[in-house]
Chain A
């Protein structure tokens, strides 16, 4: 691997934008996160954040169209795990998502923004990049030394 000299390792998984594949993505991330040395508690948080990112892509970027492509890249060393998730659906602006307001959801019988809030709460870093007409990317990262 060309990045071997930096001791940065990479793995990649490509799945279709179907909710049946959420468990495939979770299993993929789970095994590597454990291998790096995160506690099972932190690993559970990481796979939840990744699930939320992929669920948002399926529902919003691909509008539940099941044949879109989602690429999940893991980049990691003994200090940090970075998960980059790429789709080619509708661009997404995270600034438009307000923090969740449960009282409001109670009245509206629906929820929105819970996934985004979970991602921000559970990960050290959440970054969105959209190149319209090309791709959208969400980057999630967790440092090992701050993981407690």
Chain B
């Protein structure tokens, strides 16, 4: 059975979600729970770090679509970072870069939240 887990770090008000392992139709509910828990706690500024994600299928991509509008409606966002070429190619093939900001590094993605806040103030 494929292993998948998430862990969360607070980076100055931005919640960084680390994905590890294999994200498919079997493990997608784990990520759904992670996003649901963040939303329950009104944590809407989210960076997802893909560094340790080995595999993603469309069931995993679907999880991002399920939560993004609710998060943006609450002035938040899900920004993506640190994808391998293999994982990025799948996102790219399906047109996700039009809907999501994807950054090379976690730091860049986290900093975008504070830049956006500065612009708003």
Tell me the A residues contacting B by CB distance below 8 Å.
19-20, 22-23, 26, 41, 44, 48, 51-52, 55, 58-59, 100, 102, 105-107, 109-111, 114-115, 117-118, 121
Contact = CB atoms under 8 A, between A and B. Distances in A.
Given A22-B26, A58-B25, A102-B99, A114 B66 contact: no
Contact of B86 (A44, A58, A109, A115): A44
A52 B60 CA distance: 11
Contact of B25 (A48, A55, A109, A118): A55
Main secondary structure of the interface of A (DSSP, over half): helix
Most chain A beta-carbon contacts within 10 A, residue among B57, B58, B70, B93: B58
B59 interface: yes
Interface residues on B, range: 20 to 34
B66 A118 contact: no
Contact of A118 (B55, B70, B94, B99): B94
A19 B61 CA distance: 16
Nearest to B68: A106
A102 to B, nearest CB: 5
Contacts of A115: 57-59
Contacts of A107: 69
Nearest to B27: A19
Given A44-B86, A110-B62, A115-B58, A51 B24 contact: yes
A114 B66 CA distance: 14
27 contacts: A19-B24, A20-B26, A22-B2, A22-B24, A22-B25, A23-B2, A23-B24, A26-B2, A41-B86, A44-B86, A48-B55, A48-B57, A51-B24, A51-B25, A51-B57, A52-B57, A55-B24, A55-B59, A58-B25, A106-B99, A109-B67, A109-B69, A111-B58, A114-B58, A114-B62, A115-B59, A118-B90
